[in-house]
Amino acid sequence: MQSQLKEKSASQRIVITGVGLTSPNGNHLQEYRDNLLNGVSGIKDYNIRYIGDTFAGACDFDKLKYQTKKELRVGTRAGSVSIYCAGEALADAGIDLDTVDKSRIGVFVGTTEHGNVETENEVYNLSKFDYDVKYWTHHHNPRTVANNPAGEVTVKFGITGPHYCLGAACAAGNVGLINGLQQLLLGEVDLAVAGGISESIHTFGIFAAFKSQGALAENESAEKASRPFDKDRNGIVISEGGALYTLERLDDALSRGAKIYAEITGYHINSDATNFVLPNNVRQAECMHKALDKAGLSADDIQIVNTHATGTSAGDIEESKAINAVFGDSANTYVNNTKGFIGHAMGGAGALELAGNLLAFEDGLVHPCMNVDNPDPACEVRNLVAGDAVKLEAVDHILNNSFGMLGINSALIVSRFLGE
């Protein structure tokens, strides 16, 4: 593997040099990692208009760290999450925006959807005034355009390179990272701020839709509500949050002496082309195989597979079939899941779940699944980590699955950086 990487020039290798995140159980990488290792749930009781009492994963980050109160009033929750994550990622990477060419920075943010929160709120407010449209805010259009979260980042930090959002359903976090990598390889940018975010808990529509599908989690306890792979799972816990990363070409990162978390070595995106909602395990397995092929790796080379599994009955079973098809013969591969701790952060899920495993390159630990108290035989996979973390001699390669509605699948492989 390492010799194959050395065949690529340093300008063809893309590395992660900074991470910024907010999650329901942590607002920076080490805190988040510690809570995953220590079984700390971020799921809480939650009440939302028209739905009433339910559960959600809500974030509690310092909104005023990078924004003024006026900017918060004018902007969006998605923009605020994005600005916080971008600011933290740039700081973590040691990027001084006053000393770099900001026209060579790109911002690529994966989202499930955008604008629902603002539109629902405006319609609700308008109802208080007998639907007189003169009370409709003039901020509505810039708040609801699809590029808003990424655009708010560029406005805040004065970044003049390309920015846009990638609508890839719940695969969007991985897709944002893949797009950032591709833009670096094309030479369009020298630094990519990339990943995924979500503000989904602030729209009642998503709760109502999952509830009508019978896919909204119910439980007596908030922290027990999200339980992928468990026989008693009964649906999704909706969450907000996200993670944005700074990505650089290896030669640029080395030239400035940057800390390197990992190298992105493989990826793939494909489509089921079979159903609006129900996943296709054959296409999911194909996606993982293609990512392995691009990385020049075999299944045995992967130490950690982080699953997309959301806690729905069919979804968890289909992904288990896909994992068994790819990794069923690999004794070296361990499988985990993050949504039991934080719920489903939609467009931010893939990027957040990758972050939860990233520090395994340093500590060698595979964080466990949460709430797999009664494993579903239909979801049986080899080396599923439930209960306590597993300590490995070394973690060299991690594969991160992230799938979404309309049958979009993504798999991303990150590898330990061992030098030039």
The answer to whether residues 270 and 233 belong to one domain is no
> What confidence score (pLDDT) does residue 268 get?
98
The answer to whether residues 233 and 334 belong to one domain is no
> Which candidate, 228, 279, 314, 311, places its Cα nearest to that of 410?
279
The answer to whether residues 242 and 313 belong to one domain is no
> Which candidate, 235, 229, 266, 259, places its Cα nearest to that of 245?
259
Q: What is the mean pLDDT of the segment spanning 320-342?
A: 98
Q: What is the mean pLDDT of the segment spanning 360-371?
A: 98
Could you tell me the residue range of the domain that residue 370 belongs to? Answer: 266-415
User: Residue 319 has what DSSP assignment?
Assistant: H
pLDDT of 359 over the 50 cut: yes
Cα-trace Rg, the chain: 20
CA distance 220 to 396: 40
Please give the share of the chain, as a percent, with pLDDT higher than 70.
99
Place of tokens 């994005």: 82
The answer to whether residues 228 and 351 belong to one domain is no
| Pair 15, 417: CB distance under 8 Å | yes
Q: What is the mean pLDDT of the segment spanning 200-220?
A: 97
Place of tokens 């749930």: 41
Burial (Cβ within 10 Å: 0-12, 13-18, ≥19) of residue 159: buried
Q: Where are the beta strands (DSSP E) in 303-407?
A: 304-306, 334-336, 365-366, 390-391, 397-404
Domain boundary among 236, 255, 274: 255
The answer to whether residues 212 and 307 belong to one domain is no
> Which candidate, 220, 83, 234, 232, places its Cα nearest to that of 163?
83
**pLDDT tens digit sequence for 126-181:** 999 999 999 999 999 999 999 999 999 999 999 999 999 999 999 999 999 999 99
> What confidence score (pLDDT) does residue 375 get?
98
Q: What is the mean pLDDT of the segment spanning 371-387?
A: 97
The answer to whether residues 195 and 325 belong to one domain is no
Q: How confident is the model at residue 4 (pLDDT cuts 50, 70, 90)?
A: low
Model-wide pTM > 0.85:
yes
| Any domain includes 261 | no
Domain boundary among 207, 233, 255: 255
pLDDT of 5 over the 60 cut: no
Place of tokens 């009955």: 313
Q: How confident is the model at residue 25 (pLDDT cuts 50, 70, 90)?
A: very high
Q: How confident is the model at residue 33 (pLDDT cuts 50, 70, 90)?
A: very high
| Any domain includes 260 | no
The answer to whether residues 199 and 337 belong to one domain is no
Q: What is the mean pLDDT of the segment spanning 265-284?
A: 97
pLDDT of 6 over the 90 cut: no
Q: What is the mean pLDDT of the segment spanning 222-245?
A: 98
The answer to whether residues 31 and 127 belong to one domain is yes
Q: Give me the CATH number covering residue 363.
A: 3.40.47.10
> What confidence score (pLDDT) does residue 3 get?
43
- Structurally, how many domains does the chain consist of? 2
| Pair 262, 414: CB distance under 8 Å | yes
| Any domain includes 401 | yes
Q: What is the mean pLDDT of the segment spanning 50-59?
A: 97
> What confidence score (pLDDT) does residue 420 get?
73
> What confidence score (pLDDT) does residue 62 get?
98
